[in-house]
Amino acid sequence: MKLFRNLFTLFVSLYFSLCTANSQLTETERLDILKNLDIYNSVFKELSLYFVDSIAFEKTIHENIDFMLQRLDPYTEYIPEEEMSDFMLQTTGEYGGIGAIINSDSTKIFISEPYEGMPAAEAGLIAGDVLLEINGESLANKKSDFASERLKGRPNTKVKIKYRRIGEWTREETITRRLIEINPVTYYGVLPSNIGYICLSSFTTHSARSVRDAINDLKQNRGITSLIIDLRDNSGGVVEDCIEILNLFIPRGQTLLTMKSKAPLPDKVFRTLQDAVEPEMPVAVLVNQMSASASEIFAGAMQDLDRGTVIGNRTFGKGLVQTSRPLPYNGQLKLTVAKYYIPSGRCIQAINYSHRNEDGSVSNIPDSLTHIFHTAKGREVKDGGGITPDIIVENKQLPTMLYYLDGQNIFFNFAVEWRQKHPKIDSPETFVLSEETYLEFISYVKSKDFKYDIQSEKALDRLKEIMKLEGYMDTAADEFKALENLLKPDLERDLYLYRDQISDFLSTEIMRQYYLAKGEIIYSLRNDDGVKKATEVLTGR
């Protein structure tokens, strides 16, 4: 019965918190809430006493809570105590551990990437090392989450790891955990024409400091005259740090953001509070469809105030604000509390979760229902559906085969084995994948019994059904058969047909193996259409 006492305590706590926080509730509404919470508690009590089979009550309750919250929006969620470390990592970029990304497939758990300068890397662990035991506990038939939780712990505590390197014997290392602070500035450097480049992967509680330090170094020691800020694939984070970074470029006293909530929470206005560090330096902001939340606040404010040129693809469209509220038993409720509006007055939220279709699904706001706003200099911009860049850079179309190669870890596993044979390679600035290496890769793929589908073949199957239904198969059978043969997956043909794209993916994986995330970025910048367009804008070419 302890579970039900805990459950009822949780519900009553939520009830009184709600009643205290929201004076807008009527007495009838308060009584309805308490009545239904009491019914919910009673249902579980009766189930525990009389249901014929055993019930995993804690799991069932958590699933019910998750279902209830998911009906609101994707961002409102219950975080139990055992998941708080991951939640704190998202907001602070910090955790206690060895500093490595852990992954798994159907047969093993392995190091995907050690962080530069962190305990795992300092102990000699490299990408591809297969984890066998942690503190004597076998990892056989376990998943990566199981290993990650056991590698985390209080700083200055030790963890004993048994692992195997490909082609070598089993090794053991005792590693002292540290406070792992993930630098949100994945890389910064100087491009031709004295253009600075900063790749910001997330907005954490340390991102403003990291960006400021990068700009100071680039300006004072490397002589940059303009700047590219890369927010592609940056899903957002801490709003306050986003505002602080904007203040580096936008003068004091400018309104950057307004959060509008339901009573009793007041609207919150964010303004620049300091003198700008670089109020005149030309800036380009790179975004894509995975740039969301705080990334959109940054790009949108720079666009609305005509302070920078936004380049890339239309962003994700998340105009909602979340905060966390403490719950009993050391959990948290992360919930949506406001919509945000950028300087022009627009909200870029793409989906209205309060209006669902009959089947419960939601859809994007159509362009026909968006509204026109204006930037500081009078340019037209729209709300809804994210930030539309000032300059669009079309995405490169990638063959389906690439996703299968990546999803089945073919690139990763080949690079791990290839590294064992090649202790040193050229730098990311000069590396070129050789003909010999690509031929090795082709042989490797063939040896793995690699299977994949192509979208045109699936479309052809649908066409075949329609042709049968409409009676065309008899008259066009020969032509259809020829097309069907042409569109069947042919591994060797496709490995040569898509050689350029496959070589590029394979090269970036090799760079990550030798030079970690920085090396991958440096290599990718050599042929980056977004960076090329930003360079044209910043140099006036």
Domain ranges of the chain: 2-70, 94-181, 185-323+336-392, 400-453+491-539, 455-486
CA separation for the pair 231, 226 (Å, rounded): 16
Q: What's the average model confidence in pLDDT over 310-335? A: 91
Q: Is 468 exposed, middle or buried (0-12, 13-18, 19+ CB in 10 A)?
A: exposed
Q: Catalytic positions, please?
A: 293, 304, 318
Is 341 in a helix, a strand, or coil? Answer: strand
The counts of H helices and E strands in the chain are 17, 21
Quick one: CA dihedral 505, 511, 512, 517, positive or negative?
negative
CA separation for the pair 155, 175 (Å, rounded): 11
Identify the band that residue 14 occupies on the pLDDT scale cut at 50, 70 and 90.
low
What CATH number belongs to 185-323+336-392? Answer: 3.90.226.10
Structure-token match 């020969």, residue found? 478
Quick one: CA dihedral 349, 354, 357, 360, positive or negative?
positive
Q: Tell me, what's the pLDDT at 282?
A: 98
Structure-token match 């998941």, residue found? 83
Q: Is the pTM of this model over 0.75?
A: yes
Q: Tell me, what's the pLDDT at 292?
A: 96
Q: Which residues pair with 374 in a beta bridge?
A: 380
- Reading the block at residue 26, the tokens are 């009527």
Q: Tell me, what's the pLDDT at 433?
A: 97
For 94-181, CATH number out of 3.40.50.300, 2.30.42.10, 3.30.390.30, 1.10.287.3510 equals 2.30.42.10
Q: pLDDT digits over 192-202, tens only?
A: 999 999 999 99
Q: What's the average model confidence in pLDDT over 359-370? A: 77
Query: What are the residues whose beta carbons fall under 8 Å from the beta carbon of 338, sequence distance 6 or more?
Result: 259, 260, 261, 265, 268, 320, 321
Listed residue (251, 253, 309) closest to 279, CA to CA? 251
CA separation for the pair 513, 111 (Å, rounded): 11
Is 287 in a helix, a strand, or coil? Answer: strand
